[in-house]
Amino acid sequence: MQVIYSRNLFLIFIMMVGSMVAQAQFVNLEDTWKEFLANAKTSNILDLQEPNKREQPKDYLKYCLMHMNTNFCAGNLKEAQLMINRIEDMDVALQDQIPNFKEKKEDLKTKLGAAKKAHKVWERFQGGENISLEELDEHKGASKVCEKGTLAKYTYMELRAHYCNGDLEKSQGLFNNRLLKLINNTSLKVTDVDGLETEVEMTKNLFGGLPKLEKAWKKYLDTDKSEGYKDDLPLIECNAIPSIKICILRAAEDVCLYGPQMYKKIQNLQKKNTRSLPSDVKDRLDWLKGELDKSNVELADLEESWTLFKSKHTANEWPELPAVDTVLGDQVKLVDFYCDKIAQTKSWVIKGSLDACAEGQGYLDKIDALKKEHNLEYDKDLACQVLRFRGKVYQCRYWELVLQARKETHEERERFGPESSKIMYGDLNSDKLPCETTVEYEPLGYIGVKYVITAYLCQRINLAKMGDPEYYKKIATWVGTQVLDRYCEKDMRCKEDFFIYLEGHTDGHRFDGRKYDNVIGIPAGTPYTHFVDGDTLKKTVEEEITDRLSGNMDLGLARAWSVKQQLDFMKVPITIGAYEHPEKEKGGEFRRIEIQLNITNLLLDFYEKRLKELVKESGIGDRPPKC
């Protein structure tokens, strides 16, 4: 009896312990699940026992998902996929009963898929294929996974793409600040990723050697002398510019000894190089080619230069002063002397055309003397190029006369402009006028004149009248008799593009608005310029301004519009503007109307007549014909 009783107690004890263990396991799983939802990277399932699939299906699903994440972050993609497969085999309805489960599962599936795709791209990369930034951007999700191997692959392909694009600073930054830190500061080993160890070692050597190469290259550019370059750098074919620089440095040390071999190597490098050569590298490569070509017939170089010259210089007319062609000057390959006289002529045409105004006449004289001395006959092509060159030289001499005519026209304008403005000042000011009117002259372009007539409003003036009509008739009479009649020929071309701009100024006193007896009548849609708070704004009148003004801007426009009505009889285009002075600018000097007379072509006839005289006096003759 005692034995049976003891045995029952033992069984009860065992059952209680089992229940307590199961309860503890449940609590531990729930705590881990909550931690997992909060931060998937920190979940730890090492101490968790796998729940029974049948008896605890929900816990089993949680366990599988956390197990999948842990394996994925540890780089065990196959085990991670196995856990996903287990989950997918379960009833979907169970997943819906677990809060946030499906969202978490889909997120991890997406990241797992991104890692697998990135691995396939890495395999192509390891096979020698260049992966562009555009393609990597399609797999951007791989850069956000917890699996360090995927991060390392993506980062390395990204830094390589930047290197291929020529962004060495970005590439080296990714290598030092992301990839090496990932390798050195985490559990990832460089050997964990197939091919990564070789790539990292190569990239270290590359970035470690670039500063020394750039120092040698800069010294070469500064001194035009090379001491060669003994070291080799790893070659990345998509951006072979560092290797090309090494070849040039070696060739420049002794062109005869190393030049042909290095130039051939550069040609091979350029076949797979996807980057455009920087100007300094291209210039030195051109120099190397030129040095190697010296052993060839110099006429071959000349013919290449001649073809290039003709492709750049095809125009028959030069509306302005021919510019110095520094670009072509760097590209052509010429020598000072050619035995062949036609070749000599071609070289002089090219050299003279590079700076036709400074050196063109000297080369043209040489061409004419050589032709006469040797009784040369040009083919159609050369005859045309010589004729075009002659046209350039003519244009240079012609423009010297243009500049002289402009100078004399400006001198005449500076004599006449201030003098005529003084006359107008005297006519517009009298004892009958309570306020002063000023007249200022300004040059306008090469042949134009601008007069700014400023009528100060020192007293209150009725906007509807805005001055005596005789006042404006004086302005029109003065423009006609004292300005236009003095410089215009019968066809009155000088009046073309003559326009008036009227600007009504209001001072810093605030104008709250007012209704007037007479209609002001500024139509809707009228364009005007508005100056306020330092800004210049182009606007149009939104609604017709009739007999009421609402503020300083309306007042300024009304002042300008009233004067426009007085000057419309002149039959020239008139525009208006309103200028609001800031609050600190108060008083009569800021209440004014500016009448700007812009006579754009006033001295056109004077200028053209003087230029014609200068051309005749110079003896340059007629412009050469076209070909």
What pLDDT score does 210 carry?
96
Burial code (b: 16+ CB inside 10 Å, e: under 16) for 409-424 equals: bbebbeebbeebbeeb
CA 273 centroid distance within chain: 25
φ, ψ (nearest 5 deg) of residue 491 = -75, -5
Across the 627 residues of the chain, what is the mean pLDDT of every consecutive 10-residue run? 44 39 54 78 65 85 84 80 85 85 85 86 92 91 84 92 95 95 90 92 96 96 94 94 96 84 95 94 94 73 92 75 86 82 93 93 96 95 94 93 96 94 89 83 95 84 59 88 85 86 94 85 95 95 91 93 91 95 92 94 93 94 89
Write down the pLDDT at residue 12.
38
- Alpha-carbon separation of residue 64 from 23, 69, 167, 227 (angstroms): 20, 9, 44, 66
Whether 72 contacts 80, CB under 8 Å: yes
Q: pTM of the prediction? A: 0.49
- Which runs of consecutive H residues, i.e. helices, occur in 48-147? 57-73, 77-89, 92-96, 101-126, 133-138
Residue 294 pLDDT: 66
At 45 the pLDDT is 64
Query: Rounded to an integer, what distance in angstroms lies between the CA atom of residue 77 and that of residue 84?
Result: 11
Q: Is the Cβ–Cβ distance between 309 and 353 less than 8 Å?
A: yes
Residue 448 backbone phi and psi in degrees, to 5: -100, 165
Q: Please, is 314 exposed, middle or buried when counting C-beta atoms within 10 Å of its C-beta (0-12, 13-18, 19+)?
A: exposed
* pLDDT of amino acid 481: 86
Residue 152: C-alpha distances to residues 118, 128, 138, 169 (Å): 10, 18, 17, 19
pLDDT for the residue 246 = 97
